[in-house]
Amino acid sequence: MKDNFVYFPGCLALRKFPGFDYSTRFVLDKLEINYKTAEDFVCCPDPVWIRSLSYKDWKNIGLKNLEKAKSLGSTMFTICNGCFETLYTIKKSSANLKSFRVEHLIYTLWKNKKNEIKSKIVVPLNGKKFAVHEGCHFKRPSALISEEFGELKKVNILKEMIELLGTEAIVAKDECCGYPNSLTDKELSYLLAKKRIESFGEVDGIVVICPSCFSHFENVLVHEKRELPVYFYFELLAYSLGLDKNKIGFEFHRIKPLTI
Amino acid sequence: MRLNPYFKEEISRELKDHSILMCYQCGKCSSFCPVFNLSPEKFNPRKLIEMVYIGAEDVLKTEDIWRCTTCYECFENCPQKVNFVEIIFLLRTKATERGYAPKIPMQELVLVRKEGFSVQISPRAKKWREEVIKIGG
Ligand code: SF4
Ligand code: SF4
């Protein structure tokens, strides 16, 4: 891996779920991925609401993050579908960012580090059955994403990455978690999430790669009084690679992760 | 409802790919839309395009345009490659300019403009970063 990586943590992983950020940094160190990051990165911003309300703000703020990242390296990775969509979409429309890459970290690891992860696992998650939810903004719109990530159409990366840790993966047809609607029609957003959760059947947990999907699934499950844990993939990966359970940040989950 | 005969052209002009003009109202977008399938009376993407076609500018005042989750299921399945999500973004931006944006998303925009972030830092998260993992801020 010759790229000079730049890590973009995003709002939720720094401000609401700090364990997401810490687990990610632990994984990067364990896998010996050198990276830089910037203290003054701001919100990506959100590809649904900020883009809806003010295209100008969305694009200008996104460009500032991208220019800062470009001054630090050649490939930027995010740990959030929303950050990925915003930064990738804006990059695609900017002539002077043509050679700069934007990826979701799950893709970076899937492409380059599968074997290394396998050989470095110290705590396998054998015997667990996890539903995988990649989320809409990771691989859509495919007309745009396929230009650089054609494989995403054919493979469920998250399935492969969770199976690396020794778990069984349950994949249901891609569907929305309903998060965006939680800001404008809560009832509808809860119905969408419930439908999605039902589609997984009986599982030990739901694994996601987007803090917004995470937060929405948890809120709905708490509302439904269901003790089904939701995991952010990089937490589980960090755990399998040996991160002390007390440093994963599980206390920020609303549903305690009882199954590991 | 007063119709604006220029509304369709206005929307088409402002959409970079003008794809709205390619819509032949087959309804495939709606049949794949998870929101329509749960609640057809609240949200119907095909119908929203029809409203733009006939010049029903008041569509900007409706709650419907704020119910799309931007999951792209419609665009993925449209035989005419109409990117309905771009249409929704444009309708929402226009609605915002006219003062019809819903309150909660607007608060997010205000926060991003003021602090650079769409969520406020939780004191618990700050404390955990400082005390458990010993990263400042
Ligand atoms: S699927 Fe495409 S062509 Fe058919 S109604 Fe929807 S937008 Fe129009
Ligand atoms: S992007 Fe919006 S209109 Fe299209 S399928 Fe998803 S919710 Fe429905």
Residue B120 is predicted with a pLDDT of: 87
Q: What 3-state DSSP class applies to A49? A: helix
Handedness of CA A29, A31, A34, A35 (dihedral sign): negative
**pLDDT single digits (tens) A153-211:** 899 999 999 999 999 999 999 999 999 999 999 999 999 999 999 999 999 999 999 99
- Please tell me the distance from the alpha carbon of residue A136 to that of residue A196, in angstroms, as a whole number: 12
Residues of B in contact with A16 (CB under 8 A): 119, 121-122, 125
| Percent of chain A topping pLDDT 90 | 95
Band of residue A136 on the pLDDT scale cut at 50, 70, 90: very high
Look up residue B134 and give its amino acid: K
Ligand 1 atom closest to B28 (CA): 1
- Checking if the pLDDT of A2 tops 70, the result is no
Beta pairing class for A35-36 and A205-208 = unpaired
Q: Which amino acid is at B81?
A: K
Give chain A's mean pLDDT.
95
For an interface test with A, give the residue of B35, B87, B104 to mutate (most A CBs within 10 A): B35
Structure tokens at A85: 């969509």
Q: Is A80 left (phi over 0), alpha (psi -120 to 50) or beta?
A: beta
Pocket test for ligand 2, best of B29, B36, B69 (most atoms within 8 A of CB): B69
Flag if A249 and B116 touch (Cβ within 8 Å).
Answer: no
Higher-pLDDT residue of A153 and B59 is B59
Say whether B34 and A176 touch across the interface (CB within 8 A).
yes
pLDDT at residue B137 in the model: 46
Q: Write down the pLDDT at residue A1.
A: 61
For residues B1-11, give the mean pLDDT. Answer: 93
Q: Which helix (H) or strand (E) holds A14?
A: helix A11-15
pLDDT tens for A89-130 read 999 999 999 999 999 999 999 999 999 999 999 999 999 999
Chain centroid, CA B16 distance in Å = 16
Residue B100 phi/psi, 5° resolution? -100, 10
**Cα A73 to Cα A60: distance, rounded to the nearest angstrom:** 20
Question: Does the structure's ipTM exceed the value 0.95?
Answer: no
Ligand 1 centroid distance, CA of A116 (Å): 45
**Look-up of token digits 């998250």:** A158
Interchain proximity A53–B124, CB inside 8 Å: no
- What tokens does A103 get? 């990826």
Mutate to test the pocket of ligand 2, among B36, B84, B87 (most ligand atoms within 8 A of CB): B84
Packing angle of the helix pair A105-112, A233-240 (nearest 10 deg):
40
Surface-to-core class of residue B122, CB atoms within 10 Å of its CB (0-12 exposed, 13-18 middle, 19+ buried): middle
pLDDT at B119: 87
